[in-house]
Amino acid sequence: MRLSLRFVIPLMLVLAAFAYAVVPLVDKLTLSWFIRDLDSRSTLIANTIQEPLEDRLAAGSRANVIAFFAKITQDERLYAIAYCASPNSRPLASRFLPKIIRCDDLDRWEKPGENLLSGDNGLLHVTVRSMGSEAAPDGRLVLVHDMSFVERRSEETKRYLFYFFVGLAAVVSLITVIIAQLSWRGWVQGMRALLRGEGLLRQPELPVKANAPEFRPIARDLQRLMRELESEVLSRDESQLHWTPETLRAILHGELHGEDIIVVSNREPYIHVRHGEQIEVQRPASGLVTALEPIMRACSGTWIAHGSGSADREAVDRHDHVAVPPDKPAYNIRRIWLTPEEEAGYYSGFANEGLWPLCHIAHVRPTFRSSDWAHYVAVNRKFAKAVASEAKTRAPIVLVQDYHFALLPRMIREELPEATVITFWHIPWPNPESFAICPWREEILAGLLGSSILGFHTQFHCNNFVDTVDRFIEARVDRAALTVSLGGKLTAVRRYPISIAWPPEPELLVKDVESCRAQVRARSGLPPEQLIGIGVDRLDYTKGIIERFRAVERLLELKPEWVGRFTFVQIAAPTRASIDEYRNHEAQVIALAAQINARFGPGHAPAIVLKVEHHEAREVYEYYRAAELCFVSSLHDGMNLVTKEFIAARDDNRGVLILSQFTGAAGELPEALIVNPYDADQCAAALHLALTMPQAEQRDRMRLMRGLVREFNVYRWAGRMLLDAATMRQRGRLTEKPGVPAA
Ligand code: F6P
């Protein structure tokens, strides 16, 4: 509106100035027309009355002539009429002849432009016409017209002109305002469309706005500008952002417009377990859960997972939902129920007897059965249907977790073509030769390539995946951009090193280090001054627990001064107990611990304390805080979050981390004592070094490691994926294929 006024007011002023100049011109013009009319009229009257006047003059009756004139001047415009026989005569005139008109001075009224005079009621027009006769050769007729009607008409004309200009101004203004509004709106829309990035590339189907020819010249520049801004924002995010739950929420609401988040994993973050009359809520021992739970607390949304707890069905509503965390609900778990056959085939069989050993170099043979594969396909389909039913929009962001769901990304895309599917593979990806063992390798690769983004912990695993795709399926691989295109659908393969929440939940650090030291030793039956090392794992053969115990044994062999003074405490959460390999492994671990304890014998504090049971995070943190060292000896591990938890627990800057070179974490934490778990001597030396490391060195190493985990925390892990998803969606919009990264 303000904009329209800016147009209209100057327009009005121009029109007023125009009217001011034009009206007097029109007035002058019409006056001259009237004068010309009156001249013609006078000639006509003169011609008309000539004969009757001559007759009356010839009759010599002045009275008769004056009466004749009186009759003629009844015409309202003819004000007066007179006849001069000669310049010296007295005029024979009608009643109102102005005195100024005299027979001896008639010539003056014949000069053009000077035949007007002012009468009582306004202007008078004087015309003189010769009317000679034999008796009076110099006779002249004088006609005086009343011009007041001209003035009246002039006033009327001015009034009409005024109305005309006002009307004209109104119409022109109205048209101007409408045109201005329409074109401004169109321009603004077009500009907005450009700024949103629409129409910058190929969009022939777009209506007017962004494709309008006037925008084309600036479209390219804007596109470049947007890219520059985007990369600037991203690089700033990388280096300067302080990653917190708020950062994550801001990304979700700002960059992703508060889009719906759905997480899919096999393991659920809270398990309801029945103990007699009581229902207990447990947090499973899972790196995946440790990482994703704080993300879901920050972002809300729905977490779809297998309902595996004995009291899970009792805890859900009629939609199979339960709000968690129980004390302060922030998101929903949607539980999926599996039959014992499905669980055996999909989880124990294909995922954990097939893919797990396939992807880990732990020298356990993978077992692939077609019946397991059939369950794996069916359960993936079941979860895809659940994603579709939980999605509140057509384009949700779906975070698919791990090797249990290799087929799910493609199935989700079939259900929700506009979804952005971010898949994270929490375990290593093997080289192509190893992966070739899998009989359904093509199906698995095609399933994963339904993802918009596919994430691994390390670049090495990204490269292995791309090499595998290149080897086994007909897909276009761009190694520079690390993208794979299958059937026109592009997947970005990216490295996102996973981490933990920073700072850790305050309740985990609430007990001071001295109390933790005392209580842990008392609980384990160890003397207060005992030096202890800690290991926290699921009882999985990939974790290198056997190798760890062998290293402790070797230490005590090589450095007997530690016998009775040093104890290694191993917390081992039971896992995948239905699989033979795991049961055997558990038995081996228990036997080896007993054997070593027996060897370094009675009368001393034990060399190894093995606790095969589930521990809640609060208890685990007490052990971390109580120990001199933490030993992570995985034979192969995607990342290993125990490593980062130990660092987070040591706010006293004490404690030494011994870390297997075969974990993803080893690439990030050179301040740890990096070891080869297969080399017992080297590991024993590392244990000795850790136990004798000066406090100042412990502090320096721990500070550096804490700085890294603080900066590269789990909010950054998820934030980077969400930012990449946002960029991808933006590019998808540009190419009119939401959720699909632009080529
Ligand atoms: O390492 C892969 C992984 O999914 C981890 O994320 C998690 O710690 C572990 O396996 C959980 O295994 P499960 O769910 O079989 O107990």
Beta strands per DSSP E along 98-195: 116-118, 123-130, 140-146
- Does pLDDT of 237 surpass 70? no
The domain that holds 632 is classified in CATH as 3.40.50.2000
pLDDT digits (tens, 9 = 90+) for 54-87: 888 888 888 888 888 888 888 778 889 999 988 8
401 CA closest ligand 1 atom index: 4
Q: What does the pLDDT read at residue 187? A: 54
The domain that holds 46 is classified in CATH as 3.30.450.20
- Does pLDDT of 213 surpass 80? no
596 and 449 in a common domain: no
524 and 489 in a common domain: no
Q: What does the pLDDT read at residue 218? A: 54
Q: What does the pLDDT read at residue 208? A: 39
- Helix (H), strand (E), coil (C) string for 537-552: EECCHHHCHHHHHHHH
The token pair that represents 391 in the structure block: 């999605």
Nearest Cα residue to 709 out of 661, 649, 660, 652:
649
- Does pLDDT of 327 surpass 60? yes
- State whether the beta carbon of 641 lies less than 6 angstroms from ligand 1: no
More confident residue, 295 or 108: 295
DSSP code of residue 109: G
569: three-class secondary structure by DSSP: strand
522 and 415 in a common domain: no
* Beta bridge partners of residue 116, listed in sequence order: 125
Q: What does the pLDDT read at residue 47? A: 84
Q: What does the pLDDT read at residue 184? A: 58
530 and 473 in a common domain: no
Computed over every residue of the chain, the mean pLDDT equals 88
Q: Which domain holds residue 399?
A: 258-265+285-301+337-495
Is 549 inside a domain boundary?
yes
Q: What does the pLDDT read at residue 200? A: 38
Residue 7: which pLDDT band, with cuts at 50, 70 and 90? low
- Interval 236-247 mean pLDDT: 72
* Domain total in the chain: 3
475 and 579 in a common domain: no
- State whether the beta carbon of 154 lies less than 6 angstroms from ligand 1: no
pLDDT digits (tens, 9 = 90+) for 445-465: 999 999 999 999 999 999 999
Residue 99: which pLDDT band, with cuts at 50, 70 and 90? confident
Taking the C-alpha atoms of residue 304 and residue 332, their distance in angstroms, rounded to an integer, is 8
The token pair that represents 84 in the structure block: 């001069």
How much distance in Å is there from the Cα of 138 to the middle of ligand 1? 135
pLDDT digits (tens, 9 = 90+) for 692-733: 999 999 999 999 999 999 999 999 999 999 999 999 888 877
Is 86 inside a domain boundary?
yes
- State whether the beta carbon of 426 lies less than 6 angstroms from ligand 1: yes
- What are the Cα distances from residue 533, in Å, to 158, 556, 599, 602, 658? 108, 13, 19, 20, 10
Taking the C-alpha atoms of residue 272 and residue 454, their distance in angstroms, rounded to an integer, is 31
Length of the chain: 743
523 and 490 in a common domain: no
- pTM, rounded to two decimals: 0.70
404 CA closest ligand 1 atom index: 4
291 CA closest ligand 1 atom index: 6
The identity of residue 443, as a single letter, is E
- State whether the beta carbon of 288 lies less than 6 angstroms from ligand 1: yes
pLDDT digits (tens, 9 = 90+) for 162-172: 788 778 878 87
Contact 608, 597 (CB under 8 A): yes
pLDDT digits (tens, 9 = 90+) for 553-589: 999 999 999 999 999 999 999 999 999 999 999 999 9
Q: What does the pLDDT read at residue 676? A: 98
- Interval 133-141 mean pLDDT: 84
Report the range of poorest mean pLDDT among 4-8, 106-110, 571-575, 691-695.
4-8
Choose which residue among 263, 265, 267 to substitute to test ligand 1 binding: the one with the highest number of ligand atoms within 8 A of its C-beta: 267
Report the range of poorest mean pLDDT among 219-223, 321-325, 335-339, 501-505.
219-223
Report the range of poorest mean pLDDT among 193-197, 421-425, 542-546, 635-639.
193-197
The token pair that represents 86 in the structure block: 């000669």
Helix (H) or strand (E) holding 408: helix 408-415
Q: What does the pLDDT read at residue 152? A: 77
- State whether the beta carbon of 622 lies less than 6 angstroms from ligand 1: no
- Does pLDDT of 120 surpass 90? no
Which residue's CA lies nearest to atom 4 of ligand 1? Answer: 288
669 and 522 in a common domain: yes
Which residue's CA lies nearest to atom 14 of ligand 1? Answer: 267
